[in-house]
Amino acid sequence: VMVDRDIGILDGLDSGEYYQFRGSVSKIILATDISKHKDYLGDLQAFAARRAEDPAVEMDKQLAMELMVNCADISNVIKPAAVARRWALRVTDEFFVQGDAERAMGMDVSPSCNRLVTSRVKLQTGFIDHLAAPLFTLLAAAFPPVRNEPGETQPPREGLDALVAQLRHNRASYDHCTDLDLEKARDWGERVVVPSSLRSESLSSGQDMGSFSRQL
């Protein structure tokens, strides 16, 4: 869209403004790169510390935009449990289709993409524990609820505690969930056959987290 001359969305910008805008958008898009996750956690920790000393301090606008896209990208795990489970199935379906294609071409199957040995449930718990929970917990700490004092006209600001509570609820629900249980959330198409090794219990944490670490 940016380079489509028929649309001309950036026609009003001079050269400097154009490259500034383009650079900003590029950084926002790259915010979904998992390799940047630790950097964002560090940025959030630093901001939360500054905000604790001075509640009026504002976040850098570029960082705020990048964090919004990053959070949106992984927000499936903070949705209501029924929705989150359907997303878990769709995401792992995509992984497994990739793995099937790699196997058919005689390639090594990518980590987390082998439906024969990979637990969907363990992929979700690993994702929540190591990515989503740290990010949303820090975000909630950085932006706590704001209550109005008597006489104030500015509307109160709700915090993110409810989202973090939903995330913890979703995580806890996987503790007693097997891949076969998760499959019951599929309300589209045909049910997927769950390998017998994954029906009664998920893979051990050690097995899965090794795969998960390689994926990162």
CA distance 104 to 175: 33
The whole-number pLDDT of residue 178 equals 95
The whole-number pLDDT of residue 31 equals 94
The whole-number pLDDT of residue 67 equals 95
The whole-number pLDDT of residue 78 equals 96
The whole-number pLDDT of residue 159 equals 75
Buried b or exposed e, range 63-91, using 16+ CB within 10 angstroms:
eebbbeebbeebebbbbeeeebbbbbbeb
Alpha helices in the chain, H assignment, sequence order: 15-30, 37-53, 61-73, 81-104, 120-127, 133-142, 161-173, 179-183, 205-215
What tokens were used for 183?
Answer: 């499959």
What tokens were used for 3?
Answer: 């380079």
Q: What is the pTM of this model?
A: 0.78
The whole-number pLDDT of residue 188 equals 84
Residue 204 CA from chain centroid, whole number: 23
The whole-number pLDDT of residue 192 equals 66
Tell me 79's DSSP state.
S
Q: Are 87 and 59 in contact (CB under 8 A)?
A: no
The whole-number pLDDT of residue 160 equals 86
Q: Are 123 and 92 in contact (CB under 8 A)?
A: yes
Tell me 146's DSSP state.
B
Sole residue written with tokens 């056959």: 193
The whole-number pLDDT of residue 210 equals 36
Residue 184 buriedness (CB in 10 A; 0-12 / 13-18 / 19+): exposed
What tokens were used for 176?
Answer: 């007693």
pLDDT per residue of the chain (216 residues) written in tens, 0 to 9: 777 778 888 888 889 998 999 899 999 999 999 999 999 999 999 999 998 899 889 999 999 999 999 999 999 999 999 999 999 999 999 999 999 999 999 999 998 999 999 999 999 999 999 999 999 999 998 888 766 666 666 665 677 889 999 999 999 999 999 999 999 999 887 666 666 656 554 444 333 333 333 333
Sole residue written with tokens 């097995």: 207
How many CA atoms lie less than 13 Å away from 13 in the CB half-sphere?
13
Q: Are 79 and 52 in contact (CB under 8 A)?
A: no
